[in-house]
Amino acid sequence: MQTQIAQLVEEFNKNVRPRVSAEYWAKASQAFDIFWKKQIMTGNLAKGQGREIDDLHPIIRLLDPNAKKHYRDFKDEKERQDLKRRIIESGKQYGLDYEIEESENELLITKTESVAKAMVTQGQWHIVFFELASFPELREKLDQIFKETIPDKKAQLIDELKSLNEKHKNYLTKPAATALCAIMSLQNPANYVQVVSLNHRKIIIECFGLGVIDVKESYGKQIIHTNELLLSFDKKFDVDFSPVELTYFLYTEEVREIWEPEHIQPESATVTAPRETQEGAYFILITGSKEYDDSKERYHFRKGIPGCNQLLEAENRGRFVYYQDGKFYAKGEIGDISSEEKEGTTFYYAKVKNYEEIGPVKFEEIRANLSFGSVGAAGIRRIRKEDYDTIVGKTLPQGTDFIERDLELPSDFTLDPLLFEDKEDLELRIMAALKAGNNIMLVGPPGTGKTEVALSLGKQFSEKGPVNTYIMTTATSDWTTFDTIGGYVPSSDGNGLVFQPGLFLRCFKNVDKPINRWLIIDEINRADIDKAFGQLFTLLSGQSVELPFQKNSKNIGILSHKDCKEREIAPNQYVMPKSWRLIATLNTYDKASLYQMSYAFMRRFAFIHVAAPNCNFIEEKWSEYLACWGLRVPAELTGCVDNVRELWESMNEDSKRPLGPAIIKDMLHYILNQAEKHGTLDDGIRKKIVTNAVISFILPQFEGLEKSDLDNLKKRISQYCLSDKIDSLCYEMFEG
C-alpha cells in the first residue's frame, strides 16, 4: 500500500493540494471565534429571532455545504438590493467576503467552502446554536472543550457535554458526532481533521492500519482518539499534510475507493439491483481550460490524475455530464479512448458519443439532493447513477419543440433484473401501450413488483428525449384537487393570495419553464378519484381545460399539446407534452375496500396485469430470487428456507390469495434476522420463527376471504407452522 499511497500523494500534490487554502480556513476559524464570543457566549443569538440571515447563516455555510446559499425572498428591485446588502454585511461582521451571482429570481452566494457534509439540516443547525445560546451550561461546557489542550481531559469534557445535552432535542451530540466534530474542526482547523463522521473515521483507521479503536471507549474518547489516529497518517506514510489537506486527500475519489469502495454503489442490493453493473459508470468531467476546446468531440485528460483509471475502464460503457463555472451544461457517453506521449507524459483522448446540451443546472441548486458536497478540483469525478439521474433529471428542455415530439421508445428497454413469468410478454404489452399514447395502470396482487416496474419505466424513459424526469408519489384518501391541480395560498409577503400549482401542474412547468416530468402514482385507488382529479378527467382524454384560478389576472389553463401553437408559453399556461404519461399502480386485493374508479376514469388507461408467479416458475427461479434479494442462507436454515418456498408454491398454486415476491423476501429477511438472534436452533425454534413470519406477512393478506377459502389457506400453511397458533389468530382476526 505504501507505493500506491505515494503515487496518489504525488498526484494530489500536483493537482489538488495547491487549491487547498490554509489562509481560507484560518479566516473561517477567526469568523467562528467572533461568532462564538459575540453571539453564543453572550446569549445574543437566542435574543435575535428573525436575524438568522444576519447572524447564523454565515457560520452554517462554513460548517456544511448543504447550508442555504440562494435567496428568493424579494418581490421588487428595492427588496432585492436590500437583501443583497444584508447578506454582504452578514459576512463582513465575521470578516467574510461574499461573491453573489444574481438572476431574475434569486441571489446566489458562490465560491464558499465548508467543513463537511454533516447530514444536519439547516433547521437542525439553527436548533443546535439557539440552544447553545439559550442554555449557559451547554455553551460553557463546549467553551471548556475548545480551550482544553490535554486530550484525556478534553474527552472527559465531551462526555460531560453529551450527558448535559441528553435532555435537549438537538443534533450536537448524536452518535455519529458529525455536528460536534464539524464545529470542533471549524474552531481549530490546525488540529482537527474535517472527517466529521465517527463511522468514516473508524473505517479509514482500520483500512490504513493507523491503530485500534476500543469499542468500549466513551463517546468523548472516541472523538479525540480517532482524530489523533487519523493525524498519524502523516508519519505512517511519510507525508506532510495539514489536517485540512489530509481530509481533502482522503476524500479524493481514488483514495476513497481504497477505504470505502462501495460508496459509489447504491446502499442496498435488492431485486432492483443497480443498472450501473450493466450499463457502465457515471462521471462528472470538468472543462474550462484550452485543452477542452473540442469537448463536443472528445475529452482530453492526463495519465495519473484522480479518476484517470476509472475513466479508462469506462471505455465504451460510461456516461458523463460536463461541468464548468459551477454549472452542469452537457451530457454524453464515453466512446473509444486513444493515447499519445508528449514530453514524457501520457495524454488520453476519450471520444464523445451522443453529446447533448442540458440545462444549464447550477450545482448549488441541487447540492442538497446529491450524495457529495462538492465537485472537487480534479478533472474527473466518478458519481453514483442516482446522482447522474438527479443532475440530468433537473435539466430543462431547450425551447418548446419537445412538446410536439413523439415518445421515443428505448431500443434496449428491459425489466431486468426483476423476475417475472412471461417477462418478455409483459415488456411488449407495456411498450405497445406507451407507443399507442396510453397512460398505464399496473394492476395485480401485493408484492408482485408493480411499483418496481413503474420506477423502472420512469428511470429508463427519463434517459431518452423528450422526457426530462419523473415524480413518484403515493395516493391518499385526503387528496383533493388542491393537491393534484393546485389552489390559492397566502403570498409570502402576506399581501393577498397567489396560485400554487399542484402535483400534475408541476409535471408541466418548473417556475416559468415548460418541462416534461412523468407522474407515477402508487396505489392510486387510495384516493377518492372524483374528489381528487376534477378537471384532469378532461385533460387525460387529450382535451385542454381552463381552471377556476387566475395568474396575472388571467385564467390558468392546461393545454393539450395539440392546442399549443405558440413558441412561448404564457405564465398562466401549462402544456401537457405529447410524450407525457401517467403511470399508476393498483393493488387488486384492495379494490373492493378502497375507493372505486369510474369507467370514465379507467378508460383513460391501458390496464396491464402484473401477476404473481406460479409454482413452477418459483421452483425454477428460486436460486435467482435469493441472489436478487442478496440473501445468503446458512446451512442450518436451508430446510427452513425451503419450507418457505414450498409454502409460497402452495399458496400460488390455486388459492384465492397468490403472493408476490416482495412478501416472501420480507419473510425471509425476518426469518434470518430472528434466527441470528436466537443463536442455537432446534426444530421447535425454527417452526416458531416461521410461524411468526407467516403471522406478520401472510395472514394480513387473508382479509376479506370467504370462510371456505380461508379454511383452505389455513390448511395449506399449517403444515409449516404451529397450527394451533394460526387457527387461533385467524379466528380472532377474521371470524371472531
Q: Annotate 345-359 with DSSP letters as a single string.
A: EEEEEEEEEEEEEEE
Q: Has residue 12 been placed in a domain?
A: no
CATH of the domain at 508: 3.40.50.300
* φ, ψ of residue 193 in degrees (nearest 5): -70, 160
- CA 218, CA 351: separation in Å to the nearest integer? 54
Tell me how far the alpha carbon of residue 455 is from its chain's centroid.
14
- CA 240, CA 22: separation in Å to the nearest integer? 14
Buried (b) or exposed (e) across 668-705, using 16+ Cβ within 10 A? bebbbebbeeeeebeeeebbbbbbbbbbebbbebbeeb
Which amino acid is present at 539? L
Q: What is the pLDDT of residue 189?
A: 94
Residues 454 and 535 occupy one common structural domain: yes
Which amino acid is present at 260? E
- CA 355, CA 332: separation in Å to the nearest integer? 4
Which of 254, 280, 296 represents a domain boundary (last residue)? 254
Residues 361 and 385 occupy one common structural domain: yes
State the residue for C-alpha cell 435532555: 167
Residues 598 and 648 occupy one common structural domain: no
Residues 531 and 510 occupy one common structural domain: yes
Residues 337 and 318 occupy one common structural domain: yes
Q: What is the pLDDT of residue 432?
A: 92
531 lies in which domain range?
423-609
Residues 141 and 190 occupy one common structural domain: yes
- Which one, of 504, 91, 24, 448, lies nearest residue 248 by Cα? 24
**Three cell numbers written together for 466:** 423528450
pLDDT in tens, 71-115: 877 778 888 888 889 899 999 999 998 888 887 778 888 878 888
Q: Has residue 375 been placed in a domain?
A: yes
Residues 246 and 287 occupy one common structural domain: no
Q: Which segments in the chain show pLDDT lower than 50?
A: 262-279, 292, 394-398, 592-594
Number of domains in the chain: 4
Which of 254, 277, 303 represents a domain boundary (last residue)? 254
Residues 601 and 527 occupy one common structural domain: yes
Q: Has residue 444 been placed in a domain?
A: yes
* φ, ψ of residue 249 in degrees (nearest 5): -65, -45
Which of 209, 226, 254 represents a domain boundary (last residue)? 254
Residue 360 preceded by cis peptide, ω within 30: yes
Q: 3-state DSSP call for residue 226?
A: helix
110 bridge partner residues? 99
CA–CA distances in Å: residue 475 to residues 503, 525, 595: 11, 7, 11
Q: Has residue 388 been placed in a domain?
A: yes
CATH of the domain at 382: 3.10.590.10
Q: 3-state DSSP call for residue 380?
A: strand
Q: Has residue 523 been placed in a domain?
A: yes
Q: What is the pLDDT of residue 132?
A: 92
Q: List helix spans (H) across 400-471.
A: 423-435, 450-462
- CA 736, CA 728: separation in Å to the nearest integer? 10
Q: Are 425 and 637 in contact (CB under 8 A)?
A: no
Q: What is the pLDDT of residue 368?
A: 64
Residues 437 and 569 occupy one common structural domain: yes
Which amino acid is present at 151? P
pLDDT in tens, 272-309: 222 333 346 889 998 876 554 578 889 988 887 777 87
Please state whether beta strands 327-342 and 345-362 pair in parallel, antiparallel, or not at all (unpaired): antiparallel
Residues 536 and 623 occupy one common structural domain: no
- Which one, of 253, 228, 236, lies nearest residue 1 by Cα? 236
- CA 210, CA 200: separation in Å to the nearest integer? 13
Residues 446 and 463 occupy one common structural domain: yes
Residues 181 and 202 occupy one common structural domain: yes
Q: Are 454 and 524 in contact (CB under 8 A)?
A: no
Q: List helix spans (H) across 64-150.
A: 77-92, 122-134, 136-147
State the residue for C-alpha cell 459575540: 38
Task: Give the gyration radius of the chain's Cα atoms.
Answer: 29
Q: Has residue 511 been placed in a domain?
A: yes
Q: What is the pLDDT of residue 493?
A: 64
Q: Are 164 and 225 in contact (CB under 8 A)?
A: no
Q: Has residue 261 been placed in a domain?
A: no
- CA 308, CA 711: separation in Å to the nearest integer? 64
- CA 706, CA 472: separation in Å to the nearest integer? 35
- CA 404, CA 98: separation in Å to the nearest integer? 44
Q: Has residue 63 been placed in a domain?
A: no
State the residue for C-alpha cell 378537471: 535
